[in-house]
Chains A and B, each alone.
Chain A
Amino acid sequence: MSAHDHHLDGHLPHEPEKATLEGRNKILGFWLFLGAETVLFGTLFAAFIALRHQTLDGPTPDHLFELPMVFAATMILLVSSLASVFAVQALHQHKVKAMIVWLIITILLGLSFLGLEIYEFNTYVSEGHKLTTSAFSSSFYTLVGFHGAHVAFGVLWIGLLIAQIFKKGLTVVTAPKIYVSAIYWHFIDVVWVFIFTVVYLMGKVG
């Protein structure tokens, strides 16, 4: 919070996201938040694992899940994660235009992931797999839905940041925001790795 942190006039440092104490605080605080998110998703996973066989009269995972669609969703999210890595790299090289392009690609991929998920949920509901069907369905929708809500929030957030970059440019104030949102996006991808493993693939295996 000391005074000289603020007046970085003229050129931007190499890693602008870590140039100010505020920026460093933001990154550290965000990592701690991700630690909390790890536990949040972990608890949802635990609930799902405990209830995964409780399908009652509803459809079973084996019957429900379509691997090609899950694989497509996985690829979309993986590529979007790569796009956001490139966005951060462009940020470090102060290539604002390239950064914005990569961020837009990230968002578009995120949107298509969401579209796929909505389509998927819609299909399931029409097959009689609703939130209220069984304990399995409740825990499934809560876990995957929480992840989907995180994707949706990420899309809105990164969209807002792109608008801010257009308005304010890349500065020591906006750079940490971009960096942190990229970390968030990777985290969503990491959670998805466990979702496709634990929910879909293991569900198929039985």
Chain B
Amino acid sequence: MANDHSAAASEPKRRHRHEGPQKHVVAFVLSLVLTIIAFAAVSAGEINTTFTYIILVSMALLQVFVQLAFWMHLKDRGHLFATMGIIFGIIVVFTMVIMALYWVWW
């Protein structure tokens, strides 16, 4: 019982009990900025191709991280297996992209 109580008492802090919309608006603005950078990099058209690719991929990865962590609550408590599932999925996808890039045509 003692354990239950302490767990309950510490809950509100850890769960952001009355979280406002600010955090989500910040995540939204971040996503917006990342998207615009990506589109701008392509529209500009002046930059070298490899560099543009690097920008595009990093913007996409950052945005996905932001959305997974904040909007999909992956950073919250009790999401261990959800996170592991997504990470393992990403590993599989990564190997398949390598496959598609290097081992389908040669």
Contact = CB atoms under 8 A, between A and B. Distances in A.
B19 to A, nearest CB: 7
Given A14-B17, A42-B92, A43-B96, A82 B42 contact: no
Interface in B18-32: 18-19, 21, 24-25, 27-28, 31-32
B85 A186 contact: no
B97 A78 contact: no
A197 B86 CA distance: 20
A47 interface: yes
A190 B56 contact: no
Interface residues on B, range: 35 or more
Contacts of B88: 35
A50 B105 contact: yes
Contacts of A42: 89-90, 92-93, 96-97
Contact of B100 (A28, A35, A50, A75): A50
Judged by DSSP, the binding face of B is: helix
A49 B100 contact: yes
Given A42-B93, A46-B97, A78 B39 contact: no
A67 B41 CA distance: 12
A42 B93 CA distance: 5
A32 B85 contact: yes
A190 B97 CA distance: 17
B40 to A, nearest CB: 10
Contact of A204 (B42, B64, B105): B42
B87 to A, nearest CB: 9
A163 interface: no
Contacts of A21: none
B104 A50 contact: yes
A39 B89 contact: yes
Contacts of A49: 97, 100-101
A28 B93 contact: no
Contacts of B96: 42-43, 45-46
7 smallest A-B Cβ distances: which pairs? Answer: A42-B93, A38-B89, A35-B85, A31-B82, A46-B100, A50-B100, A46-B96
Interface of A: 14-15, 18, 27-28, 31-32, 34-36, 38-39, 41-43, 45-47, 49-50, 67, 71, 74-75, 78, 81-82, 85-86, 89, 92-93, 183, 186-187, 189-190, 193-194, 196-198, 201-202, 204-206
5 contacts: A27-B82, A31-B81, A50-B105, A197-B56, A205-B56
